[in-house]
Amino acid sequence: MPHADPTDPMDPTGDLTEPTIRQRLLDAALETASINGIAKLSVGDVARRADLSRQTLYRYFPSKDALVAEVVTIETAKLIQQVIDAAVAHDDPQRSLEAALLAALLATREHPLLDRLLRAEPETLLPLLTTEGSPVMTQVRAVVELILAERTPDLATDPVRARRFADIVTRLLVSYAVSAPDDPPEVVAQFVSMFLIHGALPDGAAPPPSTTSSSAAPEVTTR
């Protein structure tokens, strides 16, 4: 009688479910890439770390690029949730945007994989972050538009202007994340939010400049 293969998602007698196997592979890929980088990442290393076979890995991901793209997309979604949580803690448009920017800058710097890739292998990550229509750009832009709709109703009433503003914020955010400026994240977030909000809102609609420290923004933690 053949034994069940717990690493084979096609085996109905196995102990593991497909979502569990997929998550194990994604976790293993994140851990391996954080240590070795993407350039030296191999599907064999990922499979071994997940204690699964290469054949099982290929059932879920047809290539290394597909695996890496999903890892980056998932980790970006986690960072975006942190940004949303930071933004919704403030009713004032400028402080909401400032908190969102600060959360994004800190999370990017503190994330083990993104920080390593941006410092050591930017060429492997840039296409996923900067290409128009990429999952990352699309997700970030959607979050910016959400924050605008909830915090700047005067701007949101003009769809064309709101779309352009969201695009500018998205590109600035990705740019600062990819190439961190010399100034501390708190300074960058406060200046950029003040500059953007006061320049985007109709005359008289902009809030007064923030007089509180950016450190009041919710602290961002990464795993």
211 & 106 share domain? yes
Q: Is the pLDDT of residue 220 over 60?
A: no
128 & 53 share domain? no
The answer as to whether 175 is a domain residue is yes
126 & 80 share domain? yes
C-alpha separations of 65 from 40, 138, 190 in Å: 12, 19, 37
Percent of the chain with pLDDT over 90: 21
- The average pLDDT across 153-166 equals 80
Position 137 scores a pLDDT of: 77
- The average pLDDT across 187-193 equals 89
148 & 188 share domain? yes
41 & 102 share domain? no
Tokens 């071994």 locate to: 48
Q: CA neighbours within 13 Å on the CB side: how many for 141?
A: 18
- pTM score over 0.85: no
How sure is the predictor about 182, in pLDDT bands with cuts at 50, 70 and 90?
A: confident
Position 205 scores a pLDDT of: 47
The answer as to whether 23 is a domain residue is yes
80 & 182 share domain? yes
Q: For residues 124 and 71, what is the distance between their CA atoms, to the nearest angstrom?
A: 13
130 & 47 share domain? no
Position 61 scores a pLDDT of: 96
Position 66 scores a pLDDT of: 94
CATH at residue 41 = 1.10.10.60
Position 36 scores a pLDDT of: 85
The answer as to whether 200 is a domain residue is yes
DSSP helix/strand/coil, 139: helix
Q: Is the pLDDT of residue 168 over 80?
A: yes
Query: For residue 172, with 0-12 CB atoms within 10 Å meaning exposed, 13-18 middle and 19 or more buried, which class applies?
Result: middle
Number of structural domains the chain divides into: 2
44 & 81 share domain? no
134 & 82 share domain? yes
Position 134 scores a pLDDT of: 66
- The average pLDDT across 86-105 equals 88
46 & 150 share domain? no
Residues 6+ apart with CB under 8 A from 35: none
How sure is the predictor about 17, in pLDDT bands with cuts at 50, 70 and 90?
A: low
141 & 105 share domain? yes
How sure is the predictor about 7, in pLDDT bands with cuts at 50, 70 and 90?
A: very low
Q: CA neighbours within 13 Å on the CB side: how many for 192?
A: 26
Q: How many other C-beta atoms lie within 10 A of the C-beta of residue 216?
A: 15
Position 27 scores a pLDDT of: 95
Give residue 2's domain range: 1-62
107 & 196 share domain? yes
